Amino acid sequence: MATANSTVQCSVCNKENTTYLCRGCSKDYCFHHLKEHRQNLHKELDGIISDHQQFQQKINQQKQNPHNSSLIKEINQWETNAIEKILQTAQQCRETVIKLTQKPSNGIEKEFIELFKKLKEIRRENEFNEIDLKHLQLKLTQITEEFLLPTNISIQQGSQEFINKISVISSLEPVVKTKLNNWKQHGIISGGGNGQGNQTNQLFCPEGIVIDHQNNIFIADFGNNRIVEWKSHSNNGQIIAGGNRNDQLRGPRDVIVDITTNSLIISDSLNRRIIRWSRQNQIKQQILISDIVCFGLAIDKKNRFIYVSDWEKHEVRRWKEGDERGTIVAGGHGKGDRFNQLDHPTFIFVDKDDSLYVSDCENHRVMKWKKNAKEGIVVAGGNGKGSSLKQLSQPAGLIVDDLGRIYVVDNGNDRVMCWCEGDTEGEIVVGGHGKGEKSNQLNYPTGLTFDDEKNFYVVDWGNDRILKYEKYSD
């Protein structure tokens, strides 16, 4: 757009006259040259429109004929060349085999013809006896065996690639990597946080945690010998197991919500047992496993097998309904730091492939045991106790997402870390700001879980509270 000025020189003809300022190029034009300037601008606009239309035509052509791209043509040419090379080599080998097999066949055929002539001659002359017949029979047998004798020809395949392989490489493929800012760094109190105690708005050294699809939190309230359900956005919890007498529950460390039976599976550690607690009838209890210093629990979705880490025997066992001893699936070779050993395992996790992940507490590492494996592999930590990104200190709660990323509570370092299998170091997800009670701090955290929106919840053991860390919107 142009605006009229007082008498100023035109930038084209240099004549002083009433001029118009072009805001685009900041030059002054007289009326005549302003008109000319606008015409030039229209020509440029028409050129841009024309280029746009040509580009649109190319896009439409590519959509209609995707196989005509130069890359597809290159693949087709490779295919043609490879097939031609295979056909040529195959034909050469056929010709060689025919040539090699014809030589002995020609000699046998010659002997066969001579024998046929001899037989005709004997029949015609009618002069033969047993000796002649025996000689003829032996000759026929000899020719037959020679014909059927296997050749010393074989097909040998080379150990190197016969044709050059091709593959498609794209720099546009996304690299999946955890980012430190995926979650807000200040947690929201979603349970407890009112000091240590046994009131319904308090917790006492909580340990394990799980959350259902309605975002109701189930907490193993270790110090209060109870399981508490904390409904979403509630200021108080509800006791749903234990809490009345010490012999009901003593020091529960972990809990699972079993939807199929509408019950809780509880690691009742100080009573040395695993129990099933009905959510419909709180009086109804069932002892599933006895005489075990149980810590962490897990259940696989496919077979509904229960996995239990045994703190005392340094092993993890898998149990199915009616099982009396269970099956060792990790450790079981005494206390130690070898790949087939554990040292005080705590929390565990089972993925969709039945691979087991174990927080190997006193070895300061997380171990992965594939289904039926005789020993595990280190997938986090394993470089001694410490606070560097390569180390863990008494790992606790852990969970593995659908991409195989391992989230583990680094208890001794008051942080939660993320590791990818094969990485030499992890990343701090939340915490790591020193021990404390601020919203961005933790104090000996233990349990860990995700909700359906991938917000995660951390049991802040030393502060007797549950913190929710919200995920940033994608």
The pLDDT tens digits of the residues spanning 237-285 come to 999 998 875 558 999 999 999 888 889 999 999 999 999 988 877 667 8
CA dist., res. 190 & res. 236, Å (int): 10
The answer to whether 240 and 224 have CB atoms below 8 angstroms apart is: no
Query: Which residues of the chain, if any, have pLDDT below 70?
Result: 1-6, 61-68, 101-109, 112, 115, 128, 130-134, 136, 143, 145-154, 156-181, 245-247, 282-283, 474
Pair type for strands 226-230 and 294-299: unpaired
The answer to whether 458 and 467 have CB atoms below 8 angstroms apart is: yes
Confidence (pLDDT) at 256: 94
The answer to whether 342 and 367 have CB atoms below 8 angstroms apart is: yes
Element (H, E) at 366: strand 365-369
Contacts of 343 (CB under 8 A, 6+ apart): 314, 335, 336, 337, 360, 361, 362, 363
Burial 240-250 (b: 16+ CB within 10 A, else e): bbbbeeeebbb
- Give 172-240 as a DSSP string: TSPPP---GGGB-SS-EEEEE-S-BSSSTT-BSS---EEE-TT--EEEEEGGGTEEEEE-TT-SS-EEE
Contacts of 172 (CB under 8 A, 6+ apart): none
pTM of the full structure? 0.63
pLDDT tens string 14-53: 887 777 778 777 788 887 887 888 888 888 888 888 888 8
Structure tokens belonging to residue 357: 């992940």
First to last CA, the chain: 41
Q: Is 354 left (phi over 0), alpha (psi -120 to 50) or beta?
A: left
Phi, psi of 442 (to 5 degrees): -130, 160
